[in-house]
Chains A and B, each alone.
Chain A
Amino acid sequence: MTLPDWKTVGGAAVLFGLAALLPYSGSGYYLGLGITIAMFAVLATSWALFSGPTHYISLATAAFFGVGTYVTGLGFEALPYWTLPLIAGVAGAVLAGLVGLATLRLSGVYFVIFTLGLAELVRQIITWSQNRSGQKGLYVLTDMTEAGIYWQLLGLAAAVFLAGWLIARSRLGFALRIIGDDETVAAHSGINTALAKVLLFMVSGGVAAMVGAILAPRFVYIEPSLAFAPILSFQVVIMALLGGTGRLWGPLVGVIPFTFLLEAIASNFPNQTTLALGVAFLVIVYLLPRGFVGLIEDAKARMRRTEGAL
């Protein structure tokens, strides 16, 4: 690694260290907000690992997240707690792999619709199998604290950032950017486009399932309509796009303000949350097509030009 690399890694480590101190603030409200931010930071960043370079918009986050919550819900009594996020990660990755093999040959809007349908399909299957067994949902009663959940999410976030940083510097990361620009050129340059896309989709799906597994104890009671809520998939897309998917830290820049905004909307206009989400989406797409990252980079470019002129 070069000196700037060490600076990047060191800076990120300091920020994560500071974030880890949040539970000591003693405020349950801020800790709750911290969990929401950490959750969306992981989900949006891992979503952007795949969708950012390839421009394949996935609405399957809720499917992977839901599978993760059910891994914890079904397994917490029988298995050691620490194995559950790992099992969920594998389950999410396997599901993403199967879906990827079946769908990544689809392009554009067909892929989007399929991923949305997938979340519904998994939800219906679980609802159906629960109805057969006479249950409606599952109680997840553990002694996991809010702080414990927060630290797990923060650790996962660090792992996702590290993975994203390494992928961006690898052949795989370069291959994905080429695929995003022109898939035909990618194939004719010798890239195994299907493999590259499936691998990243598996990383993204596995991480979303781990988030679900970590958060399940917080829900205490889970049922399909909660675990597979499609709105989660849309929130993740909106936040990632607000921040910008062109940089690894982009989605995070979208997650933090959006979480505060959602919080404000949800507490003042609880019945209009979805409406506000839709409006936010339109505003982002029209006014900030490259997200905050785009704004920041344009500003930097302007500054360089001004300096050059002086």
Chain B
Amino acid sequence: MMQNTVLSLRGVTKRFGGLVAVNAMDFNVTEGEVMGLIGPNGSGKSTTLNLISGALPATAGAISLRGTDITTMAAKDITRRGISRTFQLVRLLPSMDVLENVMAGAVFGHKRHWGAEARTYAMGLIDRVGLGGKAHARVGQLTYIDTKRVELARTLASDPKLLLLDEWLAGLNPTELETGIDLIKSLRDEGRTIILVEHVMDAIRSLCDTCVVMSSGTKIAEGPPAAVLTDPEVIRAYLGDDDDA
């Protein structure tokens, strides 16, 4: 295995009863790379993310983080080892303010801060994601993009080696989308390693170094966005065969 491989999936499979949601997935993510995990709805992208983050156990195969096998690890241990994620439907802590939401990642994640140090650290990240001045706002009062920023700041607070963003750009209006893409771009420029599950094609083209395309739980293409997005099989997966109609 190459020295700078952060994450590696080998034959990773997830079955729910008779349904094979993820079928023998293989891919590597190298350090500093932004990898797009794309494919039509129901193709197994989110399930793959759930397997990596420990939200679901894999049925077969092996997942390793910098050479350490994390296939059977619990979510909390995977987070402590340095994989942090956002959720497809934003999940914030409703009884807490923005600062405490971000501190949750800072106190218990990969980097474990506490007390005044955790506050200062979290405040820095609140500014970093563009929430300056809103540290003491209740999360229920935030706009949609701001709730996404809080979640992003919480995942960054654990200082992950690998960041998993599950449709982080979904549901944003065109102006917000531009802001959102710039924000992720700035994370990429910091040298962060990111897996991006995304439907927004503009974002995939401008953010991703490589793409893995899934269809019906299987990898059907892999490569730079420009190449895979013109791949006939990928187009067929998105638009369907003539036979399907």
Residues of A within 8 A of B (CB): 171, 174-175, 177-178, 180-182, 184-193
Contacts and interface: CB of A to CB of B under 8 A. Distances in A.
A247 to B, nearest CB: 13
A177 B108 contact: no
A187 B55 CA distance: 9
The interface centre, meaning the residue of B79, B84, B104, B114 with most chain A CB atoms within 10 A of its CB, is: B104
A220 B80 CA distance: 53
B107 interface: yes
B93 A182 contact: yes
Given A171-B107, A175-B108, A177-B96, A187 B76 contact: yes
B107 A188 contact: no
B76 A178 contact: no
16 contacts: A171-B114, A174-B104, A175-B108, A177-B95, A177-B96, A178-B96, A180-B95, A181-B96, A182-B91, A182-B94, A185-B91, A189-B76, A189-B108, A189-B109, A190-B110, A193-B76
A189 B55 contact: no
The interface centre, meaning the residue of A178, A184, A188 with most chain B CB atoms within 10 A of its CB, is: A188
Contacts of B112: 190
Nearest to B91: A185
Given A186-B104, A188-B79, A190-B158, 6 more contacts: A175-B108, A177-B95, A178-B96, A178-B104, A188-B75, A188-B85
Contacts of A171: 107-108, 114
A192 B79 CA distance: 11
Interface of B: 53-55, 74-76, 79-80, 84-85, 87, 91-96, 100, 103-105, 107-110, 112, 114, 154, 158
Contacts of B95: 177, 180-181
The interface centre, meaning the residue of A178, A181, A182, A190 with most chain B CB atoms within 10 A of its CB, is: A190
A188 B80 CA distance: 9
A189 B105 contact: yes
A182 B154 CA distance: 14
Nearest to A175: B108
B55 A188 contact: yes
Contact of B108 (A180, A181, A190): A190
B76 A191 contact: yes
Contacts of A182: 91-94
Contacts of B109: 189-190
A185 B55 contact: no
A245 to B, nearest CB: 12
A20 B91 CA distance: 47
Contacts of A191: 76, 108
Nearest to A180: B95
A140 B87 CA distance: 58
Given A177-B95, A178-B93, A190-B158, A185 B114 contact: no
Contacts of B114: 171
Nearest to A179: B93
A177 B92 CA distance: 12
Nearest to A174: B107
A189 B158 contact: yes
Contacts of B79: 187-190
Contacts of A178: 93, 96, 104, 108
Nearest to B53: A188
A300 B92 CA distance: 26
Contacts of B92: 182, 185
B94 A190 contact: no
Which 10 A-B pairs rank lowest in CB-CB distance, beginning with the nearest?
Answer: A181-B93, A190-B108, A190-B79, A187-B75, A190-B109, A190-B80, A189-B104, A191-B108, A189-B108, A185-B91
Contacts of A189: 76, 79, 104-105, 107-109, 154, 158
A111 B112 CA distance: 31
Contacts of A184: 55, 87, 91
Nearest to A191: B108
Contacts of B104: 174, 178, 185-186, 189
Contacts of B53: 188
B94 A181 contact: yes
A171 B74 CA distance: 20
Contact of A185 (B54, B80, B93): B93
A189 B94 CA distance: 15
A200 to B, nearest CB: 16
A76 B219 CA distance: 70
The interface centre, meaning the residue of B74, B93, B105 with most chain A CB atoms within 10 A of its CB, is: B93
A195 to B, nearest CB: 9
A193 B87 CA distance: 19
Nearest to B83: A188
B165 to A, nearest CB: 13
A185 B109 CA distance: 11
